[in-house]
Amino acid sequence: MLPIHMLYRGLRLNPHGEALVDGPVRMSYREMAHHVEAVASYLQERLPEPQSRVGACGHNNWQHVIAMLGIFASGHIWVPLNPRNSSAELAGIAEAADLSLIIADEDFIPLFSETGRPLVMMSGTSDAHMSIEKIGQSHGGRRPTDIAHLAGEISAIKFTGGTTGSPKGVLQPYRAFMSCIASMLTTFGFDEEERMLLVAPLTHGAGTFLLPVMAAGGCNILMDGAKAPAISETIVQERITASFMPPTLIYSLIDHAQATNTRYSGIRHLIYGAAPMARARVRQAHEIFGPHLAAIYGQTEAPTMITAITARELADEANLESVGRPCPFNDVQIMAPDGSILPPGETGEVVVRGDLVMRGYLNRPDLTKETIVDGWLHTGDLGAFDDRGYLFLKDRLRDVIISGGFNVYPADVEAVLGAHPDVVDVTVIARPDDYWGQRVEAAVVLSGDATASASDLVNFAKAELGSVRAPKAIHILSAMPVNAVGKVTRNNVLRVVEEREQGA
Q: How would residue 46 be classed by pLDDT, with cut points 50, 70 and 90?
A: very high
Dist. CA 296–CA 180, nearest whole Å: 11
- 43, 47, 48, 51: CA torsion to nearest 10: -90
pTM of the model: 0.84
Q: Which is more confidently placed, 403 or 30?
A: 30
**Residue 147: per-residue pLDDT:** 96
Residue 164 scores a pLDDT above 50: no
Q: What would the pLDDT profile of 299-348 be if each residue is shown by its tens digit?
A: 999 999 999 999 999 999 999 989 999 999 999 999 999 999 999 999 99
Are both 1-20+28-193 and 404-503 of the same fold? Answer: no
The full DSSP string for 40-60 is HHHHHHH--STT-EEEEE--S
3 state DSSP class of 497: helix
Q: Specify whether the CB–CB gap between 196 and 21 falls below 8 A.
A: no
Dist. CA 250–CA 197, nearest whole Å: 13
Residue 263 scores a pLDDT above 80: yes
3 state DSSP class of 480: coil
**Residue 204: per-residue pLDDT:** 77
Q: What would the pLDDT profile of 59-111 be if each residue is shown by its tens digit?
A: 999 999 999 999 999 999 999 998 888 888 889 999 999 999 999 999 999 99
Helix (H) or strand (E) holding 19: strand 18-22
Dist. CA 504–CA 496, nearest whole Å: 12
Residue 163 scores a pLDDT above 60: no
What are the domain boundaries of the chain?
Answer: 1-20+28-193, 404-503
Dist. CA 152–CA 327, nearest whole Å: 22
In a 13 Å sphere around the CA of 452, the CA atoms on its Cβ side amount to 21
State the chain's mean pLDDT as an integer: 92
**Residue 484: per-residue pLDDT:** 66
Task: Read off the pLDDT of each residue in 398-411 and give the average, rounded to a whole number.
Answer: 80
Amino acid residing at 372: I
**Residue 23: per-residue pLDDT:** 95
Q: Is the dihedral of CA 304, 309, 311, 316 positive or negative?
A: negative
**Residue 161: per-residue pLDDT:** 61
Residue 35 scores a pLDDT above 60: yes
Under CATH, what is the fold of the domain 1-20+28-193? Rossmann fold (3.40.50)
Residues near 52 by Cβ (< 8 Å), separated by ≥ 6? Answer: 43, 76, 77, 100, 101
Dist. CA 470–CA 463, nearest whole Å: 9
Q: Which of 92, 81, 37 is nearest to 56 (CA)?
A: 81
Quick one: 404-503 is in which CATH superfamily?
Answer: ANL, C-terminal domain (3.30.300.30)
Dist. CA 296–CA 269, nearest whole Å: 12
Task: Read off the pLDDT of each residue in 439-448 and give the average, rounded to a whole number.
Answer: 93
Question: SS3 string of 278-329?
Answer: CHHHHHHHHHHHCCCEEEEEEECCEEEEEEEECHHHHCCHHHCCCCCEECCC
164-192 burial code (b ≥16 CB/10 A, e <16): eeebbbbbbbbbbbbbbbbbbbebbebee
